[in-house]
Structure 1
């Protein structure tokens, strides 16, 4: 079958897009009438839901709604309240485009800066705190998809999930916005939202039984890339004591400021905003969210954290390689079959991977190295299944080997304080709408239901062996969050790199990671100057029937 440039273009784009006015409330921590369902935050009292699984407090505002003149500004303070506020329901997701391939719907809501708190049963104080930033390629997803009750109860943790601004609303860089706020620059509003969450935790964790000095910042895919950013961001220093990075190689965690500003200028033109910088910004702020969501800009994954700003002066990968990051304990890893989502995207776009399209796609992605990649990953090695061949090559290149590289650098900077894993349950519940007859295996995001109840996918059932694996993982994650040193898990060394393989009834060190993912080969393949766009849309938390990274 011949494949035209016009047919291939949308597939490649999808892949790389894959790749103080009110009376002050009582001090935080005071409870109303001894009711354990009522907690007073630094902004006012909230009433959550009390069950035998613990307590949940949903939809608590941590910043002022970023609407109107507050659009594209750093998050502002919440207006305090005095009456008890209902915290029994999740808040709406942040504005985001629909992603038909992954089943997401358009959301135009910008009043979305809310968080959720899950605590275990009982009333003891000083519990470790874990804050979770969701995936979704920085363009989709919501904290409402993650019920952390099970993790909180199993690990004796206070777990917090939070929204942050997405897409153009969270990551638009533009000269006019930069001129407005030289102290923060522009393009990192989503990261600033997350920093506001971390500061909220410092002020309020004790009210919910947590220890504000024992906070773990965690996330998967785009959420994990966010944690990479916080390791490098000056404004995040001291706000967390540990980090969990899942399926998120830190080397792709940001795009250069000049590239982001060029994208922002193109976005403004596409929105019909012209004139001097101030006029453009005013025009953009006057546009309805629905109109801005329809603006198309050239290039893959235009919405990504921006480096070279006061918020993120140095790209996270560069900071980690130089040892110029927050030297905290880190739990880091990926899934065994990260690239199967790439095959899903290709075939969903209408291109069947076969003997003709496979080498063309590799040559388009890897340029002069494409034929070398095809020879290194011949379909004959995969039962003549070009879908599996591409999935393996793409996953090794995009996630597995870069994750190994970042883990080694982190381990070199903080010996004995880095713990690496590889999730390896190839029978994990399928949360993506997988192509018929194509096994996703231990795909990108497949570990999520072993840690959380993932509400976007409906009821997810684990078999007895998977339930035991889930119990092992929640134990490891929670012990890491509590102490920075999970029991029975040797720290990762820079060399040899031996992550802990996590499979049902088969948790053991993996000694052949390097050769299994062909990392020595990938070290010889040229990478683009700007890698951020390579890990975009589709890589996120489970089914991106809400997300991606």
Structure 2
């Protein structure tokens, strides 16, 4: 059976979609008007309600179009008057993802962010900057309504777009020659650095403390935070980190591998000749044309290590203790791999007694039989889908997250807090209707912290609402002072690994994480890499 790792790549993704763009509108500023804030580029008018303020579609960089495509982000162009900030801006260009319900987007003028503040005009509040997930090929800051998190957590929350796919992560020798100070392939990561710099410059205007910024994200957004922990250009831009469902060991791909992908992409686009000619040809293509260029291999678009922007792979930097040692909140879902099961089956592979060992052998090569023996279907109600989900989730997310957290705790003892989201009745976020239980799947914790707009009005039952309130409190306390709740949440150590299990009305420390996820077994196998990982 032909079965490649590329089937797994889209499985662990975050959030995607787009809404209407913001439009600049000259206006008059009323003295003391809470709807108007002056940024370093000009004044913006947001929306004020009893629950707080929202400033949507605020530019943090110049549009990366034309000759600015595949270059480091440039400062936003200043404007006069008051810019309308009452609507989300459009998402960055991305291919359609039908299995998750998001359409193709060809918009490149997308470097905008959104600011949510709590009610009241006092300043000095902690700031949380959220980077969306989506496998680095999809997603949008507009998917997250952070008004509840800002209000209940009494903090300022920023959500942002960043360039995706080939627009954000194309590495090519011709592009590297143009910008040897940054190299090529990390444009999306540089966009995020621009968001953090904008936040530092403008937080006070929105009531925030520019010296108390938390960089946070889930899935690819969490992997981005791993990158910022290691990236020299991100140092000093944030004081704390939140990494959700994102094992830092797969947060980048080597420069040589990325350059090979880039050369193949240019050939597929019909751009040949000298390096400058290839770059000029690629810049002349429309976004729609580039989105149709075929790519091969798993995870072709990913942050690139071995560049001036990201000299060392984040997982290696963290293991060596060579990273920004800030307080970190890190964790995973109990059932991370069930979404991967859906992706496998959506590709036409029904997991059963015949196909299960074949899939494992394709993924784990000669170790496939060992994995099958460790994860027999009989342990999961004779459901091979659940067996595969457990194996893949432990291999890709749970145990690598534990490994990263242990390294973090070794280098920064007493400042690393680990969790496991374990509500197996969490509502479904994605455009999927499985006939088997997904449990606490990848991304299931999102509505407990944010309003998630693509999913519509997600309903939490009373017990889940209480869990949501507790999580909001814990996350906001961490953002405020680096310690979520000393009375109930003990910082983890390298050994033993200590996690807080987040279950409705049953939040308790978990002491059997290693055994439950069979981490000792996975330590004997080759670790996951960026290829075929998320």
TM-score norm. by structure 2 comes to 0.96
Matches of 1:58 and 1:435, distance apart in 2: 32
Q: Quote the residue 2:7 is aligned against.
A: 14
Q: Which runs of 5+ in 1 are unaligned?
A: 20-29, 537-549
Q: Quote the residue 2:20 is aligned against.
A: none
Give the drift of 1:437. Answer: 2.3
Q: 8 Å contact 1:17–1:300 — kept in the other structure? A: no
Matches of 1:340 and 1:305, distance apart in 2: 25
Q: Quote the residue 2:25 is aligned against.
A: none
Q: Which runs of 5+ in 2 are unaligned?
A: 13-27
Give the drift of 1:32. Answer: 4.8
1:403-418 paired onto structure 2 within 5 Å: 403-418=401-416
Q: Quote the residue 1:499 is aligned against.
A: 499
Q: 8 Å contact 1:74–1:192 — kept in the other structure? A: yes
Matches of 1:154 and 1:533, distance apart in 2: 39
Give the drift of 1:269. Answer: 0.3
Q: Quote the residue 1:269 is aligned against.
A: 267
Q: Quote the residue 1:104 is aligned against.
A: 102
Give the drift of 1:314. Answer: 0.1
Counterpart among 179, 182, 189 of residue 181 in structure 1: 179
Matches of 1:165 and 1:434, distance apart in 2: 26
Q: Quote the residue 1:397 is aligned against.
A: 395
Q: 8 Å contact 1:191–1:305 — kept in the other structure? A: yes
Q: 8 Å contact 1:31–1:40 — kept in the other structure? A: no
Counterpart among 518, 533, 541 of residue 531 in structure 2: 533
Q: Quote the residue 1:539 is aligned against.
A: none
Q: CA RMSD in A?
A: 1.1
Q: Quote the residue 1:352 is aligned against.
A: 350
Residue 462 and residue 17 in structure 1: after superposition, are their counterparts in 2 closer, same or farther (change >3 A)? closer
Give the drift of 1:34. Answer: 1.1
Residue 32 and residue 211 in structure 1: after superposition, are their counterparts in 2 closer, same or farther (change >3 A)? farther
- Stretches (4+) displaced over 6 A: none
Counterpart among 450, 465, 469 of residue 467 in structure 1: 465
Matches of 1:220 and 1:51, distance apart in 2: 28
The answer to which structure, 1 or 2, has the higher relative contact order (CA under 8 A, 6+ apart) is: 1
Matches of 1:486 and 1:507, distance apart in 2: 14
Q: 8 Å contact 1:93–1:144 — kept in the other structure? A: yes
Q: Quote the residue 1:476 is aligned against.
A: 474
Matches of 1:280 and 1:454, distance apart in 2: 40
Q: Quote the residue 1:93 is aligned against.
A: 91
**Residue aligned with 2:471, SS:** helix
- Asked if 1:282 is matched to 2:270, the reply is no
Q: Quote the residue 1:336 is aligned against.
A: 334
Give the drift of 1:31. Answer: 7.2
Deviations 1:48-104 (A, max 9, x none): 000011000000000000000000000001111111000000000000001122222
Matches of 1:443 and 1:393, distance apart in 2: 13
Give the drift of 1:18. Answer: 3.6
Q: 8 Å contact 1:118–1:148 — kept in the other structure? A: yes
Matches of 2:384 and 2:430, distance apart in 1: 20
TM-score norm. by structure 1 comes to 0.93
1:215-254 paired onto structure 2 within 5 Å: 215-254=213-252
Give the drift of 1:533. Answer: 2.2
